[in-house]
Amino acid sequence: MTIGEDRNIRFLNNRYEVFDPRTLSGGKRVVELDLGCGSGSFALELARRYPDRLILASDVMIGRLRKVEKNRTKAGVENVEVLRANNLELVGYQLPESCIRRLHILCPDPWPKKRHRGRRLLSSDFLVRAVRVLEPGGVLHISTDDEEYYDLIWRNVELCPYLEKDTSGRGIADVTEVKTEFEEQWRAQGKDVPHLVFRVEKK
């Protein structure tokens, strides 16, 4: 794999800079972020359904991102920006405040071993950072197949200012039937994969 073949992947890892996705569209597009996008199937389906939106597909694994870019090119989808980035850095300072309409975090690694639990993404610290990049009224969409992780997410959300459970059902009503490869895998094994939806109520 040569550097030239990665030319459409934006490398943000290990960089102290701000990437404003709104500059790619003159500030007129709705922006959604699929954080930890894996193979990119969810992000690409979002982009296909909403050609007027900019979809950010972010992951740290370059092999996954090359697959996303290959599938994006094959499908002729133009409104996807592929990012190689660290999750905490991306929402912590690399994206500007209030620039994302919906943030999707689907089946993140639950790090089930006790000695690895400190690596879990959805800590209270991360959620505060996520609130920073979401627009007022924006949507945080999370799914997990791990029951213990599900309970931890709820406890952490309770510690996070400005996140309110979306009881309307409208936050992700347009994508409830779109499943990631991980979710399809878990459901095939008979596992439940609940989805949590929150709205940002900034004051």
110 domain-assigned: yes
pLDDT in tens, 38-83: 999 999 999 999 999 999 999 999 999 999 999 999 999 999 999 9
22 domain-assigned: no
Q: What is the CATH number of the domain that holds 91?
A: 3.40.50.150
Structurally, the chain folds into a number of domains equal to 1
20 domain-assigned: no
Catalytic residue among 109, 151, 174, 192: 109
Listed in order, strand segments (DSSP E) in 3-124 are 9-11, 31-35, 54-59, 80-84, 100-106
Quick check: pTM over 0.75? yes
Would you say residue 126 has pLDDT above 70? yes
71 domain-assigned: yes
Please name which of 43, 52, 200, 41 lies closest in space to residue 132, comparing C-alpha atoms.
200
Active-site annotation holds for 52: no
Structure tokens at 28: 């007129």
65 domain-assigned: yes
Stretch 133-160: mean pLDDT: 93
18 domain-assigned: no
Would you say residue 31 has pLDDT above 70? yes
103 domain-assigned: yes
Please name which of 186, 174, 181, 117 lies closest in space to residue 149, comparing C-alpha atoms.
117
Range of the domain at 102: 3-13+28-200
